[in-house]
Structure 1
Amino acid sequence: GSIGVAVYPHDTRDTADLMRRAESAMHLAKRTEGNAIEFSSGDLNSDVRARVSLEGQLRRAVDHQEGFFLHYQPRVAAGDGRVVGVEALLRWQDAAGTVHSPATFIPILEETGLIVELGQWILTEACRQCHAWHQAGLPAVRMSVNLAAPQFRDRQMATSIDRVLAETGLDPNALELEVTETMLMADIEQVIRTLGQFRKRGVRVALDDFGTGYSSLAYLRRFPLDVLKIDRSFVADLQPSASDAAIVRTILGLADNLGLESVAEGVETAQQQAFLQEEGCQTLQGFLFARPQSAADCERFLARPASAIAHPGYRA
């Protein structure tokens, strides 16, 4: 049960306003997945109103496919700096011209289920762009697309992938789908079947933000995965003697033993790059090499020589 509480006369003396405040508090309680009690406050009501307004804008934007665009962040081979992959990242600019943080609007898209409809556009646009780069003679990078939980649970997801690949002409081996630990632990047998469907089509699967969830190693070895991505939180404070360094070494060893490609996110310094190279991480992604950027900027980045990208002092 979710309970919202507004107190008379502390919050308001108006009956209708009292009910509205209680309802706002109840909606906040629901957002914590239920079994919660929230009390009304001025800040709470303001936050709820802002969220309701943002949700309304997002619904209109999805209905009319307005304001959404993709940025792309390259990944490079740790050894020689070759660009081996690109991650597609969703961005949104509202009707007033404000570009919202993904951390603000993506959770709303997922909670409301709007991400399922929008996810098809993301997948199609990312695959179309990747195929265009291949056709232009640029490096044969792999396109990585994040799946939200509602998309992953959709029993028609594999069929949707077939349709997108046929429509865009992209080779299935050039597509990589990113999932999280939490998504994999929901229904183990169904997850294995779904991942198997992706693998059967030649599409690669990456386990994103590894180390931040609660996956069981006993199950992890059963999942047909291709890539293990080390969460940026472990990369941020890498010091040879720090606990984060020990965690990263362990994850890299696990990836190697399971035959998975290792990818480190959030690489921002030459010191982090050097540590990860020395420990055998295969692929690096982060601001040290390139920020998320437009398709045109990413195309120019793909045309750069690997030697320039691999240099520790290089910044895009």
Structure 2
Amino acid sequence: MLLMSGLLERKAPMTEDWKEICENLDYAFQPIVNCYTGDVFAYEALLRNWENCGFASIFDVFDQSFADRTLYAVDLELRKKAIEKFCTIEGSGAKALFYNLDNRVLEMPDYSPGNTQGILSSLGIAQSNFYFELSERHEFNSYSETIQILNQYKRQNFRIAIDDYGSGYSGLQLLYHSEPDIIKIDRFFIAGVHKDQKKKLFAENIVNMSHLMGIKVVAEGIETEQELDFCREIGCDYLQGFLIAHPEREIQNLHSTYILNNDNSHFGKRKGENQSQLIEERLTAIAPVKLEDEGVSILKRFHKDSSIRLLPVVSDKNEPLGIIREKDLKQYVYSPFGISLFQHHFNNMGIETFVTKIPMAEVNNSLEKILDISAAYKRSEGILITRNGTYLGFLDPSDLIQLLYEQKLAFARDQNPLTELPGNYTIHKNLAAVLEKGEPGQRIVFFDFNHFKPFNDTYGFRMGDRLIILFTEILKKVFNLDKDFIGHVGGDDFLIIQSDVQGDDSCKQVKQAQASFAEGALAYYSDEHRLKGSLQARNRKGQWESYSLISVSAAVLDVKAPGSTTLDQLNSLLSDLKKQAKSRQNHFARLELNQSMSDLKPS
């Protein structure tokens, strides 16, 4: 280490004042975690103790050193300090380190490449685990010079990330020129995104564009469960923010996994889980090329199997980097000295020179989302599928289209032709998932019309169908289509599955649906029946009877824990609960389901 320190001082001399400042500055680390598992993918190094060194902000440290023309020397010393502290984190060898690079270091007269490589090598850290974070805060003086330096970093196996993407005016230009491995969506687009349609549009398109280019996405500044849920929904790969963990200076307080709100009962998530099995069945499990593989071995694989037109390339963490296409190597394969020429180019330029980035997506994304990502890519070579960020397989475009066709066909078979809502097959599948997981905050709501037969007998089935459509539209307005499952059991019976219910919210929605339907149905009666508040119709025995105007009963079941309750028992329970609701003046009944049928508690 003394030798390394001496090297830094010779390469980038500093004043005594700056040496003292660097000694007093410290680093905190904030985890960047997998969006679904909470496993730590990386830690970001964040400068601390700058206020005790007389600076107004972190930016002030670098602005002052830039003004003193010592920015590169200071940055290199701090870089070394961050890497050394990172090495003391348990399991750091399997994690990545994000380091914020002030691009103005490239303007310093003492700038010279290769120093970071020396620091990492001396500490046994793989260069592929080191991410330089570029920011839009300072505009690049020369993109051509910057590209040369970034390409040099990439050839040395360093990774590039764009920080605070969307915060400045040159974001797209920086994205275009830098070809990063990761972008971090600026906190502005994440804060309150679940309540802001414009932010949703921006964030979703940033993710889609990034995945189309084979770039992973970090959502930074996550502070609420709603923001976390949305970032998962749009397909972000990694999360960072106070909800997961604050920056931590004390290394012993850092963890390798952080508990996230795994709301797998969310309807959209369940749908994704169901589809992921179909996707996996269609995947082509092409053994990937690794960064350390020899060039000749790659050529041999294409020679050995003529059906292979591409080979996925992965990092030492099994993260997909892109593909090597057989057609790009033809000039080497068919020329007299092709293999020798290829090996020469391979050794000089590195494997990444031959890598083409293509779209990638998580296996638990919806088929529609994966198809959108693939379809937007003009060359349509397929898509790399990952699980929790690691390579799983390759999906050919034709297989993806076939999957989507099969899914739509299956949905059409189960779909109710009148309401276009999912039918009994999908309903039972979702009910089974609720019983299996039994996570808190789940509710099943069963709706059944009151006095529907007398209405149909009086006004005809066409008017009855119009009432069913009216109630369907009310359910779509009252409940959250992104989170709640709405199914049509048949006739005048409907079923809702809600997730992440807070307090009494779902019951308010249930009662709102009941009230809206009772009010809306009045328009379908004659003036005479509306004024009377009833109508005369024959009962099932053929006798005339007076019936109240149509309304809807609601049976609400809170599922509190997984247990031994079967679907048949659940259906029987809902049937009994529905009878209770119909017999009550407010047409409402509610129960709690704990571990078994014997644990039912009235509420």
Q: How far 1:262 sits from its partner (Å)?
A: 0.3
Query: TM-score with structure 1 length normalisation?
Result: 0.69
Corresponding residue for 2:200?
Answer: 245
Corresponding residue for 1:311?
Answer: 261
Corresponding residue for 2:48?
Answer: 91
Unpaired runs of 5+ in structure 2?
A: 1-14, 264-603
- Matched residue SS, 1:213: coil
Given candidates 302, 305, 312, the residue that maps to 2:255 is 302
Corresponding residue for 1:76?
Answer: 33
Does the CA-based 8 Å contact 2:132-2:161 persist in structure 1?
Answer: yes
Corresponding residue for 1:8?
Answer: none
Q: Distance in 2 between matches of 1:185 and 1:79?
A: 35
Q: Distance in 2 between matches of 1:120 and 1:228?
A: 23
Q: Distance in 2 between matches of 1:88 and 1:79?
A: 23
Q: How far 1:243 sits from its partner (Å)?
A: 1.4
Count how many residue pairs are aligned between Structure 1 and Structure 2: 248
Does the CA-based 8 Å contact 1:92-1:100 persist in structure 2?
Answer: no
Q: 1:113 to 1:230 in 2, by over 3 A?
A: farther
Q: Compare 151-160 and 67-76 and name the one that shifted more.
A: 151-160
Q: Distance in 2 between matches of 1:139 and 1:311?
A: 27
Per-residue deviation, residues 233-273 of structure 1 (Å, max 9, x unmatched): 11113135421221111111111111111011111111100
Q: Distance in 2 between matches of 1:237 and 1:157?
A: 43
**2:64 counterpart of 1:108:** yes
Corresponding residue for 1:179?
Answer: 134
Given candidates 275, 285, 293, the residue that maps to 2:248 is 293
Does the CA-based 8 Å contact 2:165-2:171 persist in structure 1?
Answer: no
- Matched residue SS, 2:42: strand
**2:99 counterpart of 1:145:** yes
Q: 1:218 to 1:116 in 2, by over 3 A?
A: closer
**2:70 counterpart of 1:120:** no
Does the CA-based 8 Å contact 1:234-1:248 persist in structure 2?
Answer: yes
Does the CA-based 8 Å contact 2:87-2:93 persist in structure 1?
Answer: no
Does the CA-based 8 Å contact 1:199-1:224 persist in structure 2?
Answer: no
- Matched residue SS, 2:19: helix
Q: 1:122 to 1:225 in 2, by over 3 A?
A: same
Does the CA-based 8 Å contact 1:73-1:86 persist in structure 2?
Answer: yes
- Matched residue SS, 2:121: helix
Q: CA RMSD in A?
A: 2.9
Corresponding residue for 1:42?
Answer: none
Q: Distance in 2 between matches of 1:229 and 1:112?
A: 30
Corresponding residue for 1:236?
Answer: 191
Corresponding residue for 1:282?
Answer: 237
Corresponding residue for 1:24?
Answer: none
Q: Distance in 1 between matches of 2:16 and 2:49?
A: 12
Does the CA-based 8 Å contact 2:165-2:184 persist in structure 1?
Answer: yes
Task: State the AA in 2 paired with 1:301.
Answer: L
Q: How far 1:222 sits from its partner (Å)?
A: 4.1
Query: TM-score with structure 2 length normalisation?
Result: 0.38
Corresponding residue for 1:190?
Answer: 145
Structure possessing the higher relative contact order (Cα contacts under 8 Å, 6 or more residues apart): 1
Q: 1:60 to 1:265 in 2, by over 3 A?
A: farther
Q: How far 1:163 sits from its partner (Å)?
A: 2.1
Task: State the AA in 1 paired with 2:94.
Answer: A
Unpaired runs of 5+ in structure 1?
A: 1-58
Corresponding residue for 2:88?
Answer: 132
Task: State the AA in 1 paired with 2:246.
Answer: R
Q: How far 1:101 sits from its partner (Å)?
A: 4.0
Q: How far 1:184 sits from its partner (Å)?
A: 6.4
Q: Distance in 2 between matches of 1:300 and 1:218?
A: 39
Q: Distance in 2 between matches of 1:218 and 1:165?
A: 30
Q: How far 1:103 sits from its partner (Å)?
A: 4.9
Q: 1:292 to 1:106 in 2, by over 3 A?
A: farther
Q: How far 1:175 sits from its partner (Å)?
A: 0.6
Corresponding residue for 1:226?
Answer: 181
- Matched residue SS, 1:74: strand
Does the CA-based 8 Å contact 1:238-1:272 persist in structure 2?
Answer: yes
Q: 1:279 to 1:126 in 2, by over 3 A?
A: same
- Structure index of larger Rg: 2
Per-residue deviation, residues 106-135 of structure 1 (Å, max 9, x unmatched): 4434444443222112211222233333xx
